[in-house]
Structure 1
Amino acid sequence: MRKMRSPSAPWRAAALLATVLLVSSATACGNSDTGGSAADDGKLTLGFSQVGAESGWRTANTISIKDSAAAAGIELKFDDAQQKQENQIKAIRNFIQQKVDVIAFSPVVESGWDTVLKEAKDAGIPVILTDRSVDSADKSLYKTFLGSDFVKEGRLSGEWLIANAKTTSGPVNIVELQGTTGSAPANDRKKGFAEAIAANPNLKIVASQSGDFTRAGGKQVMEQFLKANTKIDVLFAHNDDMGLGALEAITAAGKVPGKDITIITVDAVKDGMQALADGKFNFIAECSPLLGPQLMDLAKKVDAGQEVPARIETEETTFTQAQAKEALPNRKY
């Protein structure tokens, strides 16, 4: 007797074929490049444009952001602007095109961001400013600012100088190494310092020029200061790296840094703290680069539509020589 075929067999074969075709189609779609847009895998995607790698502070800041993104399970699209605003604007537009969930960046300078920030707003992508602010009158173009009070850092530096300046022999001549021209930390630190020292008419800024936040720039400008000014009593550098470059110029000129010339800087990175512990610097106002964990927390909140404060400041301190010696063994950056 001939064996009868199960009536369900054709249906099972058809169902199997349909399943294979469906899986193949899904796999092909998942591997296709749709123009670089962020993958819709449920993972938050953060586009971050960094100023560059001009200093030890910036390097520590970048490491903090990358490590924190990995720890938070956030996909990070990172861009190095190499200290050029046009590079940052291009990066932000690329992030918009890729449809990232959140954009964060540390602006090279304060001005000139309204157009690209409006493009991000129109695309429905929230923006977070980190470390440096912008001067836009339209505060709706970004969700929040995370960083330091640069005016306060300059003011604390000036107040320390007033308390410790030797004014018995007449005017105290100060030279100032400014940060990148037009940047928020350069503008604000200069403002805070000038306001503080105005309380003592003997304190005079005799030269002020940008060293672009780099060690090489600090050395070069300090060499010019030393040639143009026969009497320099104090150096105020807007960051440690410029101060460290200035040390080389001061030593080469036959002067003793920290003694012949009082040196005040901002940041408190490890190299700067070592110079302070060694007595080559005299005072540092801290500016912490470890913003990564706070940034990732903010990115999650703004992506979820939660309200966040318009400005979030990091907790920081100041250091004298004794305090630097105590803090150095545990310094992470």
Structure 2
Amino acid sequence: MSKFACRIVWIVCACVLLFIGGCENSGLNHTSLDPVATAITVSTETNPPYESSILEQQIVVGFSQLGSESDWRKANTESIRDAAKEAGIQLMFENAEQSQEKQFEAIRGFIKQRVDVIAVSPVIESGWEPILHEARMAGIPVILSDRAVEVNDASLYITTIGSDFYEEGEKAGKYLLDKLSGEPGPIGIVELQGTEGSSPTIERGKGFRDIIKQRGDLIIRRAEPADFTIEQGRETMTSFLEEMGSDIKVLFAHNDDMALGAIEAIEAYGLVPGKDIVIISVDGTRKAFEMMVAGKINCIVECNPLLGPILMQAVKEVMDGRSLPKRIVPQESVYTEGVAEKEVLNRPY
């Protein structure tokens, strides 16, 4: 074969090889743009995994707690957190630290984040109508926990879950009438109230007064807010004692923590709590029961803080479109010295 013919054969072979290589490269490029392969890639990147889809369907509750001022409040918070976890409900928790302004900020944050339900333990009763209107305009139902609000339109919230504070005051008054039935008057009473303007302060005081007015010689000499804390209870009781001394025969404390602080003040003054001064408290914490076992508290009116399971059940009912009663009250009791030693072992908080 001549050199020219060999060159022609070489050129033809080279062209064939280039053509085959081009087809193979074209096939790879075509595979990388295959519609099915592309769809799979997009699906993996844009669709969330199954667990995320479940999370999106999870009920989300925004809860504004009023503070952490007492053992009762801490037990209440723990109950709500535990119940939410048990129910599979996502809880967004905000502590207002006794500030209504902070509660309003928290609720506006919940509205902005489009939670399913807002739950709130109001610091005080008044001033709630505008913020509840904001929640309604956003289409978010509101449940009140522990404390009530004073509004003209009760349809702004679904229900109130918590104790009947007026009845608690009545129970305290009835115990006192029975306790002092054989003692002549006049009998001086001092009252340690909770946060000024709060529903338990207003209602417990009213219930107590409505009962003891049956005896005109039971006289409330002083009533001051002590913010539901041990420190303020001690300080306020000290001022009462400095002013009236042994003329004080009865202390009605609106919660256990204030009663515990008052006991310290009474002992520091040189009097015997539970004997020189009859002490009635509200809540039912273990520390208060221990004081009752020691004879330093005479009566405890129970106020149940373990509202979490009831609250989460109410949330589920609301999300299912069911109606709820306007007030849900847990079962509660009154305890006196005779059952203190047995009952103290049953206190979960």
Provide TM-score, normalisation by structure 1.
0.92
d(CA) in 1 for partners of 2:74 and 2:31?
A: 65
In the alignment, is residue 308 of structure 1 matched against residue 314 of structure 2? Answer: no
Q: Which residue number in structure 2 is paired with residue 288 of structure 1?
A: 304
Q: Which residue number in structure 1 is paired with residue 158 of structure 2?
A: 143
Query: What do the CA deviations read for 1:222-251 (whole angstroms, capped 9, x no partner)?
Result: 000001113100000000000000000000
| Alignment equivalent of 1:80, drawn from 95, 99, 102 | 95
Query: What do the CA deviations read for 1:91-142 (whole angstroms, capped 9, x no partner)?
Result: 0000000000000011000000111100101111000001000010101100
One-letter code of the match for 1:56?
A: D
In the alignment, is residue 21 of structure 1 matched against residue 37 of structure 2? Answer: no
Q: Which runs of 5+ in 2 are unaligned?
A: 1-19
| Alignment equivalent of 1:91, drawn from 99, 106, 110 | 106
Q: Which residue number in structure 1 is paired with residue 260 of structure 2?
A: 244
Query: What do the CA deviations read for 1:252-284 (whole angstroms, capped 9, x no partner)?
Result: 000100001100000011111111121100001
* TM-superposed deviation, 1:14: 3.0
Query: What do the CA deviations read for 1:282-314 (whole angstroms, capped 9, x no partner)?
Result: 001100000000000000111222111111111
Residue pair 2:67, 2:73 contacting (<8 A) in 1 also: yes
* TM-superposed deviation, 1:12: 8.7
| Alignment equivalent of 1:268, drawn from 284, 293, 300 | 284
Q: Which residue number in structure 2 is paired with residue 182 of structure 1?
A: 197
d(CA) in 2 for partners of 1:258 and 1:40?
A: 54
Give matches, 1:195-274, under 5 Å.
195-230=210-245, 231-274=247-290
SS in 2 for 1:229: helix
One-letter code of the match for 1:265?
A: S
Query: What do the CA deviations read for 1:167-221 (whole angstroms, capped 9, x no partner)?
Result: 6443110000001000000000000000010011111000000001111010000
Instruction: Name the structure where helix makes up a greater proportion of residues.
Output: 2
Q: Which runs of 5+ in 1 are unaligned?
A: 32-38
SS in 2 for 1:41: helix
d(CA) in 1 for partners of 2:331 and 2:337?
A: 20
Which portions of structure 1, spanning 4 or more consecutive aligned residues, are displaced by more than 2 angstroms? 9-14, 25-28, 166-170
SS in 1 for 2:261: helix
Aligned residues: 323
Segment of structure 1 superposing worse, 323-332 or 61-70 = 323-332
One-letter code of the match for 2:265?
A: A
Give matches, 1:26-41, under 5 Å.
26=47, 41=56
d(CA) in 1 for partners of 2:127 and 2:293?
A: 40
d(CA) in 1 for partners of 2:293 and 2:47?
A: 61
One-letter code of the match for 1:296?
A: M
* TM-superposed deviation, 1:321: 1.1
Residue pair 2:185, 2:218 contacting (<8 A) in 1 also: no
d(CA) in 2 for partners of 1:27 and 1:142?
A: 35
* TM-superposed deviation, 1:331: 1.3
One-letter code of the match for 1:153?
A: E
SS in 2 for 1:173: strand
Residue pair 2:190, 2:250 contacting (<8 A) in 1 also: yes
Q: Which residue number in structure 1 is paired with residue 4 of structure 2?
A: none
Provide TM-score, normalisation by structure 2.
0.88
d(CA) in 2 for partners of 1:125 and 1:23?
A: 34
d(CA) in 2 for partners of 1:248 and 1:159?
A: 26
Give matches, 1:115-134, under 5 Å.
115-134=130-149
Q: Percent identity?
A: 47
In the alignment, is residue 171 of structure 1 matched against residue 192 of structure 2? Answer: no
Larger radius of gyration: 2
